[in-house]
Structures are given as C-alpha cells and as structure tokens.
Chains A and B, each alone.
Chain A
Amino acid sequence: MKQWEVVIGIETHVQLSTRAKIFSGSSTAFGAAPNLQANAVDIALPGVLPVLNRRAVECAIRFGLAVDGEIAAKSVFARKNYFYPDLPKGYQISQYELPVVRGGRLPVQVGEREKMIALTRAHLEEDAGKSLHEGLGQAAQGRSGIDLNRAGTPLLEIVTEPDMRSAAEAVAYARALHALVRWIGICDGNMQEGSFRCDANVSIRPAGETLFGTRREIKNLNSFRFLQQAIDYEVRWQIATIEDGGSIEQATVLFDADSGETRAMRSKEDAHDYRYFPDPDLLPLVIDRQWVAQARAELPELPAARRERLMADSGLSAYDASILTASLDLANYYEATVTAAGKENAKICANWVMVDLAARLHREDRDIGESPISAAQLGGLIARIADGTISTSMARKVFDELCSGGQASSADAIIASQGLQQISDSGALTALIDELLAANPGMVAEFRSGREKAFNALVGQVMKATRGQANPQRVSELLRQKLA
C-alpha cells in the first residue's frame, strides 16, 4: 500500500484581551444580553467611522516579538466585502496585503521531540456578530436572531506555513500557541467562549512528493480534541477518496462533533470574491521603533527561555520543564514554591507541583490560579520533608490540611499543633523498641529462625506505637542493632 504524507497548516483566530473593541469604544466583555454591547459604530449606522484601538495593536506587537516575527513599520487595514446578517457593515475590516506581523516561528513539543513551526503572518481584524438560530422563544419560531455584542471584538489571525505532518503535531502547535498567547497576556484562551479558534488546512500527498495536494479547510475548531478528531477523520477520508480513484476538490468543510465527520460547506466555485481594498476610513498603521521597544520591555520572559532556565537552574528534564511552563501562572507558582522550599529542593518541588498538586487541582477542577494551597505554603511543607521533620506520608496529610485550611495556616503550625514531627531521637526510640521486644518474644524468635517478614512486622509495631511519627529508617537501624 502507498505511503501518504499529511500536510497541515493552521489559521488561528485569537481574541485579544482588550477592554474595548478594535474600532469602537464599546465593551468586549463576554455574556451580556444580546446587542447591549453594540454601539452606533458596531451596528454600522449610516455615517459612523472606525477608530483603531491602540491596545489591540500592542497585543499584535507583543505576539510578533514573542514569535520572533517582523513587526511591520507600516501595515494597512483592508475591507473584506461580503454580505451576512451578522456582518453589519457588509465588510469586515481586516488586513490583507500588508499584515502587522510577518514571519516568525514557534517551537512545539511533540512528545519528546521539539519541532519548529514557521509562521506566515499574523494580522489584526474585527470579529463578526453572532447569528442565533435557536432559543429565541415561541414568538420567534422559524426566525434567526442577530447578536452584535461580539461584532468588532479584536482578533489576531495567526497563519502557519504548511509545516505540520500529523494531527498530533497540529494539536501540539495549537497547544503551544494557546499557551503562548495566554503567557504574554494577549488572550484569555477561553475556548468555550470562542477566544481561541482554529481552522486546519489539510492535504495529503504520496510520501516523497514535493508538490502539495489539494487542501480542504476545516473551519472553526474550538477544542484540541475536535482538532485532533477532525484532522484524523479528514485524513482518512482523503486517503480513502484518492485510493478509490477519486480526487480532492478544494473546499471549506465543517466538523460535526456528534458524528465525528467533516462535511463540505462550500466548494472553490462558490468561494466569495471578497474584493479586498485598503479601508479609506483608516490611515495606514505606522508602528515606530519606540513603540516596539516599549512592548519588548514589557514582555515577560517567554516560555522557551523559561524552560531553558528551569533546566539549567533546577536540573529538570526537558519534559518536566515543558509541563511546568504550560502556563505563566504555573511556571510562576513553581518558581515561588522553589523560593520558599530552597533551591536545593527544586526537584522535590517539581514532583509535588506536577503530581500531588496537579491531581488535587484536576479533582477539584481548578486552575493553578485558584490553587487551594499557596506556593509559599507548599514550599514550607517541602522544606520540612527535605530536612526530615516529617515523612512523605505524613506530608500528604499536612498537604490535605493546608488545602482545606485556608491561606493563614502553615506546615510548621500544623506539624507543631498536631505533634507530627518525625521521631528520629535514638534514646526515645531505643526505649520503645526494648519495650516491644520484651512484649513480643514470639516474633523475635521467628526473626531469629530466619523469617525476615517478622522484622517488618516489628518495624510496623514501632510505627504504630508512634502513630507513624517514628523515622522508619532510624527504627530499622536500631532494630537491627538490637537483634544482631
């Protein structure tokens, strides 16, 4: 059977976290009653004009810098003309020939491997409104509603080169991009609310072929799972189509999450002619060096740099470093934990954050920003494990107490008030062991007759007698001495 190579390029619409819309002063907050956040400009009354929100431009500059792209000194807003009821002006203001960011690249972790995905461009544009076809009530039966609250919300459309070769790579790219835009604070990343939406251009070609196959574009994928499923289905469909002697027609397709299938929405023949031309209501967008320099100065340390630093400073593996830099909040939490626990305990901190804390957050469906235990609390706890004050099993109990006890408590306070310190003192333990050996001659005899199991039982007795506080290692040592 023929080998097929999959070729994927992704266009992502990232909703920018500005308070006001891109060309009007109305709010971008999500969830208001329909059309309450649509002013004269948003509903395109006769005579109104757009005025560019500089905050949106700042977001674009931040992104361009974060992906090492070129920030265009001059870019141009263009009108993309088409009729649709939720497009009030009859055109969308976008950028066409001269986008604000050109080029750039994003390193992506695909399993253990890193791959660099090249970006073509990123451009600013306005979102359209929403057409509502259901939930309008009895009176509106058979009609559609228009909600223009979203109309004019700023978007950054980020376009890659056709660099991805599998659904896994596409998902890894989307995840990395999602992490980056949140990291640099330009997008809230809320995929349910549509803040981050991907279109995937998918084609296949025989392995070794250098020309691209005909692509189909899967529109509006708003979860990583759908992205994966849609591409998987699309690739299977394209291979089956060609192997059955058919050919791929260029088309725009939609993914149906219920059936798990893609289906064509429109073919190339009925593709719109958008009649792009420079918007005469807006001057070219000029970005001087000073503006770029200022944005650069305000940019946080980027995920890739942070990963490198964690690996160098804490001796973390590439994998651990990439998990801990999945978001800026997580990375900051981890580093604050290390600060509280002591740098020499970085590895234990990483394990606690990635395993115990992650499990708890997952169980409670919380984000790291809503962690029930602060980084300082967790670091304090880890310091007590590291210096032997408490055992790891005891530490889990303290951890649970800290999680339910509020931010005021500390590991030290819980350990002291509940007397949870580990008993490592030889004197106290020796007396206890002597007592036990005297009370259990049978077990001693068993051990002496060569049954190692009896030794473990004796250790267990000591632990039980100390309610788990005895340092198990120390108990073993002392028992061996006594029984020698």
Chain B
Amino acid sequence: MIEFSLAEIAQALASREISSVELTGLYLDRIARHNPQLNAFITVNAERSLAQARAADDRLARGDAQVLTGIPIAHKDIFCARDWLTTCGSKMLGNFVSPYDAAVISRFHEAGAVLLGKTNMDEFAMGSSTETSFYGPTANPWALDRVPGGSSGGSAAAVAARLAPAATGTDTGGSIRQPAALCNLSGMKPTYGVISRYGMIAFASSLDQAGPLARSAADCALLLNCMAGFDERDSTSLDRPREDFSRELTAAASSRPLAGLRIGLPEQFFGDGCSPEVMQLVEAAIAEYRNLGAETVAVSLPSMQLSVAAYYVIAPAEASSNLARFDGVRYGYRAPAYDDLTDMYCKSRAQGFGAEVKRRILIGTYVLSHGYYDAYYLQAQRIRRLIASDFAEAFRQCEVIIGPTSPSTAFRLGEKAADPVQMYLSDIYTIAVNLAGLPGISIPCGFAAGLPAGLQLIGNYFTEARLLNVAHRYQQATDWHLQCPAGHA
C-alpha cells in the first residue's frame, strides 16, 4: 500500500479495499515508528487526523468523493491550519495555533484529504537543509547523517520515508525542488501566482510559491489539481481557467513519446560548480530523453550567474519587512522580562528568531536603507528582469530547459551550517527560476554513492501540464523514482 500511487490509493479507497481511517492509522503508525530518527514532523495530532479520516469515509460511503478524499497529506508547517500549531519552524511561533486555514489547506479540506501532520522546515523557510529549524534538523531517510535539503525538508523526508503518501512544500529559491532532488522525489514549483499564497507565512512575497512533493510526476499533477486556482484574497493570484494538470499523462505509451520536443541545455548549467557524479547522472538522463524522441539544443542564460546575488538582496529585503509583524505584541513569542517597549521588541525578536533569520533580516534592512536602496534593491530588480528576459530568449529555441537541480547530492548534517555562502550556492540552479516566476520540477535521475540526484525541468509560464508530462514520460521509461530508502519499505 505504501508504494501505491495517489491514483491507486484513490482506487483502493473507492473500492473499499481500505478505509481512510485504516490508511491514516497506517501512516500515523509509521510516523510514530520513524519520526524519532527523522524529525520530519513538528506536529502530529492522531485524534484530529482520524476524525477527518472518518468524515472522509462517510463521504466515500455517500459517493461524493473526489480523487484525494480520504488520502492523508502532510503539510509544511508554513501553512496556517485552523486549530493546528503553525510554527513556521520558529520559536517565534512556538505557541501560535492558527485561527484560520490557508487557501491551500482549505482546498485539501474541500477535496476531503486528511491533514496528516505539519512538517519540519528551515525557520521561516530560510535555509537549504532544514537545519535552521528551531525544532531540530530533519534527517535524510537515504542517510540519516545527511540533510534532506530545505527548506521543505520535513515534507521531503516524510514522503521519501513513506510516512506520508504526499506532501506540500513551498519554494522561494528552490525549497521544493532541492529537497526533492536530495530525497529522490518529484517536486514542482508552479508558475508564480498559480497557487494562492493566502495563509502561507510569507518569506519573500514576490518569490514564494507553494507546490507538491510526491513520489511521481503523476502524483504531483493530482496534487496540483487540488492546489491551483484563483483566490481573490491573494492579489498576486492569477485568474485563469481551471486546468487538469493530468490531462497529458493519459496519452498512450509509445517508444518515442517525446518526438518533436526540443530540450534546451543552458551552458551555465553544465559548467563548473556541479559535482561530476551528479553531472554524469544528468547527462545520462538527457541521453534517455533523446531515446524518448526529444532533441537537444544549446541555449544560454548569461545573467544566471548573477541570480544568487540578486536573490540574496531581494529575498532578505522582503523578508525583513514580512517578519516585522513578529514583534511580541499580538501573538507569538514575547520575552518573559523586559524594561520598556523597545526592550520588549529587541528581546522578543532576539530570543524568538534564530541566527539565519536574523542574518537575513539584517541584510534586508541594510539593502533597503536610505542611500543603499538604489545600489542594492533596484540593481537586483534590474538583474531579475535580465534573468527573465534570458529565459524568454531561451524559450524561443526550446520548449523545456533541463539541467541539474542541485550541484551535489545530500551533504552531511552540519557540513555547510557554518558557511552561509556555501549553503546559498546549493540553490544555484533553482533560484533563477523563482526570480523569473517560471514553473520548474525536479525528478529523480539516479544515485551516486547511494544518494539520489535530481534532474530539473523548467518550462515557460503556465506550462505545468506539459512539464509534468515530460517528467512522466521519463518516469515511465525509468525506475529511479520508485526506489525506496532502506528500512522504509
């Protein structure tokens, strides 16, 4: 059962082969057994999940079930869920029980899915290893002494260890795709604006986008069907006709299903900076795509080398402002002792935020300051436009861009924690996609020394369905994505 695809689980639920209560119980048991080693979940509430499962079973019995009805889904602890502790990985929100549901949570509730638990993450999504969480690091199920990636590392570890059939994540600079790569999962960041940000605790508003983390592209498509859609509560949400993201996946299999597909290979993805063992696996995946009928063309993204620098101006700038609401006044952490208002602010924030969050608030405050704004913030926005136009140019020559997701496989816990710049560079291939607002997906493409590597596929705006199909055809021809970490089968 734990190796079933979402469609297969839905089939089993529909045919009463298993009930939602049994299925939810099965996963809760697995969490109880494995979470102590993995620390993938911050909050589990069996009673509440099982109540939802019972309601789902009623719905299944009534015959008004949808595809996800009764399926337990783990949610990154960045999504506000009514009556659930919602910490965002921070001590600052260690006491915050949300009085409302995020749009993403509401959509899963409406679909009848079961909220299985809230997953660990880098504090306020700031990190690439889940090590900045106040609730301790999450271990990679493929090697417990290694990171699962981040910031959606808890979700990735949970799905990889089969503690949840699927999960949600958010991706500001690679926070879905990089943990997907490091945990052998499929994870998609859709076009900016496709999924409502309402109720998703903001890190960098102009970059943040929610998305699915699952064991296959086909599963991602089903999750995306639930998550995507216009929301008038989010002014940056896009009002587009509803789409079935699975629609291209049902085409009959053939020996050359991707004939006519032009894949762009940006020179900047294939230079130095990527470990040779990951690059070898990426090259093999590209060869597989040629077998499937695709042709490859060389493209260039000349401004991509500036993306990490631009990102580390824009994201902290927005974060410094977004995190100002955590002031100890209305909710969240307040220092137990203080002299006056200013002291209360200083102590609450000094004690409530971790080092990486403070570092980014300081950077963001600095780059927005009078006299520095033009040199940093405006300059970074210019680079952002250049990057977007680079992609636009590339997409005149190809339909999908392919390269590595992460320059390396999972690194050791603590290995990069002391060196922020090294940590930042682990998102070198993913950040440009957020800056341009494009959709991207990472899929498993093999193993190096027993550790999974990810292949990144990037499409033009609103080509999620196409991207999912291109990923799906590869997954029909390969079995990397079916591999399960030892001890979790």
A: residues with CB less than 8 A from B are: 40, 43-52, 79, 81, 83, 85, 88-91, 146, 273, 275-277, 280-283
**Nearest CB in chain A to that of B196: its residue:** A49
Residue of B nearest to A86 (CB): B329
Question: Can you name 7 A-B pairs with beta carbons within 8 Å?
Answer: A47-B198, A81-B324, A90-B321, A146-B329, A276-B368, A280-B206, A281-B205
Instruction: Tell me which of A47, A81, A90, A282 contacts B201 (CB under 8 A).
Output: A47
Query: How far apart are the CA atoms of A273 and B367 in the complex, in Å?
Result: 12
B410 within 8 A of A: no
Write the nearest CB–CB distance from A250 to chain B, whole angstroms: 15
A281 to B200 Cα, complex, angstroms? 12
Candidates A45, A51, A91; contact of B80 at CB < 8 Å: A45
Query: Smallest CB–CB gap between B472 and chain A, Å?
Result: 32
Candidates A83, A88, A281; contact of B236 at CB < 8 Å = A281
Residues of B within 8 A of A91 (CB): 321, 324
The stretch among B127-135, B227-235, B250-258, B423-431 that forms the contact with chain A is: B227-235
* Complex CA distance for A74 and B160, rounded to whole angstroms: 47
Type the 1/0 row for B56-94, where 1 means its CB is closer than 8 Å to any CB of A.
Answer: 000000000000000000000001100000101000010
Partner of A88, one of B235, B320, B325, B369: B325
Q: Which of A45, A50, A280, A282 contacts B100 (CB 8 A)?
A: A45
Q: Which of B366-380 contact A (CB under 8 A)?
A: 368-370, 373, 377
B325 near A46: Cβ-Cβ < 8 Å: yes
**Which of chain B's residues 222-279 have a Cβ closer than 8 Å to chain A?**
232-236
Q: Is the CB of A45 within 8 A of B365?
A: no
B233 near A51 with CB under 8 A, answer: yes
B contact residues vs A (CB 8 Å cutoff): 79-80, 86, 88, 93, 96, 98-100, 102, 197-202, 204-206, 232-236, 317-318, 320-321, 323-327, 329-331, 341, 345, 365, 368-370, 373, 377
Whole-angstrom distance between the alpha carbons of A280 and B330 in the complex?
A: 24
Q: With the chains together, A277 CA to B313 CA distance in Å? A: 13
Q: How far is the CB of A56 from chain B (nearest CB, A)?
A: 14
Given contacts A47-B199, A52-B235, whether A85 and B318 have CB atoms under 8 Å apart is no
Contact B324 A89 (CB under 8 A): yes
B345 contact from A51, A83, A275, Cβ within 8 A: A83
Further contacts, 11 of them, CB under 8 A, given A49-B198, A51-B234: A46-B98, A46-B326, A48-B199, A79-B321, A90-B324, A146-B329, A275-B370, A276-B368, A276-B373, A277-B368, A280-B204
**B325 engages A89 (CB within 8 Å):** yes
Chain A residues near B93: list those with CB within 8 A.
46
Q: Which of B323, B326, B369 contacts A273 (CB 8 A)?
A: B369
- Asked if B330 and A44 make an inter-chain contact with CB atoms under 8 angstroms apart, the answer reads yes
* A contact residues around B341 at 8 Å (CB): 85
Interchain nearest-CB distance for B70 vs A (Å)? 27
* Contact between B100 and A40, CB atoms less than 8 A apart: yes
B99 CB contacts on chain A under 8 angstroms: 40, 45
Give CA–CA (A238, B19) in the complex, Å.
82
Contacts of A49 in B (CB 8 A): 197-198, 233-235
**Complex Cα distance A51/B196, Å?**
13
A75 vs B79: C-alpha distance when bound (angstroms): 31
Nearest CB to that of A46 among chain B residues? Answer: B201
Query: In the complex, what's the smallest C-beta–C-beta distance from A275 to chain B, in angstroms?
Result: 4
Q: A43-B330, A46-B80 are in contact. Are A83 and B324 (CB under 8 A)?
A: yes
- Contact of A277 with B235 in the complex, beta carbons under 8 Å: no
Residues of A contacting B88 with CB < 8 Å? Answer: 46
Q: What distance in Å separates the Cβ of B340 from its nearest Cβ neighbour in chain A?
A: 11
Contacts of B345 in A (CB 8 A): 83
Contact B235 A275 (CB under 8 A): no
Considering the chains assembled together, what is the distance between the CA atoms of A184 and B79 in angstroms? 44
Q: Which residues of B contact A44 (CB under 8 A)?
A: 325, 330
State the Cβ distance, A416 to closest chain B Cβ, in Å: 63
Cα–Cα, bound, A40→B331 (Å): 12
Q: How far is the CA of A140 from the CA of B110 in the complex (A)?
A: 44
The residue that B368 contacts in the complex, of A46, A83, A146, A275, with Cβ under 8 A, is: A275
Contact of A47 with B324 at beta-carbon distance under 8 Å, contacts A85-B329, A277-B373 already known: no
Contact of A50 among B200, B235, B373 (CB under 8 A): B235
- Closest approach, in angstroms, between the C-beta of A52 and any C-beta of chain B? 7
Q: Which residues of B contact A277 (CB under 8 A)?
A: 317, 321, 368, 373, 377
Q: Smallest CB–CB gap between B200 and chain A, Å?
A: 6
How many Å lie between the Cα of A280 and that of B370 in the bound state?
19
Given contacts A46-B86, A275-B369, contact A281 B324 (CB under 8 A): no
Please, how many angstroms separate the alpha-carbon atoms of A187 and B101 in the complex?
Answer: 35
Residues of B within 8 A of A83 (CB): 324, 327, 345
Instruction: Decide: B325 and A283 in contact? CB cutoff 8 A.
Output: no
Smallest CB–CB gap between A49 and chain B, Å? 5
Q: A88-B325, A283-B236 are in contact. Are A45 and B331 (CB under 8 A)?
A: yes
Nearest 4 Cβ contacts at the A-B interface: A90-B324, A275-B368, A280-B206, A280-B205
Distance of A373 from chain B, by nearest CB (Å) = 49
Hey, which chain B residues are within 8 Å of A90, CB to CB? 321, 323-325, 327
Chain A residues contacting B96 (CB-CB under 8 Å) are: 46
Cβ of A47 and Cβ of B325 under 8 Å apart? no
A47-B80, A47-B199 as given contacts; A282 in contact with B329, CB under 8 Å: no
How far is the CB of A175 from the nearest CB of chain B, in Å?
36
A403 to chain B, nearest CB (A): 51
Nearest Cβ distance between residue B244 and chain A, in whole angstroms? 27
**Nearest B residue (CB) for A38:** B330
Contact residues in A for B102 (Cβ distance below 8 Å): 47
Cα–Cα, bound, A50→B368 (Å): 21
Chain B residues within 8 Å of A50, by CB: 235
Which residue of B98, B232, B236, B325 has the most chain A CB atoms within 10 A of its CB atom?
B325
Specify the chain B residue showing the minimal Cβ separation from A272.
B370
**Chain B contacts of A276 at CB under 8 A?**
368, 373
**Chain B contacts for A40, CB-based, 8 A:** 99-100
Candidates A46, A79, A282; contact of B235 at CB < 8 Å: A282
Query: In the complex, what's the smallest C-beta–C-beta distance from A137 to chain B, in angstroms?
Result: 20
Residue of B nearest to A89 (CB): B325
A40-B99, A47-B198 given; A88·B321 CB < 8 A: no
- How far apart are the CA atoms of A258 and B251 in the complex, in Å? 82
Closest chain B residue to A283, Cβ basis: B235
Q: Whole-angstrom distance from the CB of A81 to the nearest CB of chain B?
A: 5
* B200 pairs with A47, CB closer than 8 A: yes
Shortest Cβ distance from residue B365 to the other chain A in the assembled complex, whole angstroms: 7
Q: Which of A40, A52, A280, A283 counts the most chain B CB atoms within 10 A?
A: A280
Chain A neighbourhood of B197, CB < 8 A: 47, 49
CA distance A85 to B233 in the complex (A): 25
CB <8 Å contact, A51 and B232: yes
A48 to B232, CA, bound (A): 12
A91–B199 Cα gap in the complex (Å)? 19
Task: Give complex CA distance A439, B275 in Å.
Answer: 132
Residues of B within 8 Å of A282, CB to CB, are 235
Q: In the complex, what residues of B have CB within 8 A of residue A48's CB?
A: 198-199
Q: What are the residues of chain B within 8 A of A89 when measuring CB–CB? A: 324-325
Alpha-carbon distance between A304 and B235 when the two chains are bound, in angstroms: 39
A50 to B234, CA, bound (A): 7
A273 proximity list for chain B (CB < 8 A): 369-370
How far, in whole Å, are A79 and B93 apart by their CA atoms in the complex? 23
Query: Complex Cα distance A50/B198, Å?
Result: 10
Interfacial chain B residues near A52, Cβ < 8 Å: 235
- Give Cα distance in the complex from A99 to B186, angstroms: 45
What residues of A have a CB within 8 angstroms of the CB of B369 in the complex? Answer: 273, 275
What distance in Å separates the Cβ of A279 from its nearest Cβ neighbour in chain B? 8
Chain B's nearest CB lies how many Å from the CB of A89? Answer: 5
Beta-carbon nearest neighbor of B377 in chain A: A277
- Cβ distance B8 to chain A, nearest Cβ, rounded Å: 33
| Closest beta carbon of chain B to A21's beta carbon, Å | 14
Hey, which chain B residues are within 8 Å of A45, CB to CB? 80, 98-100, 331
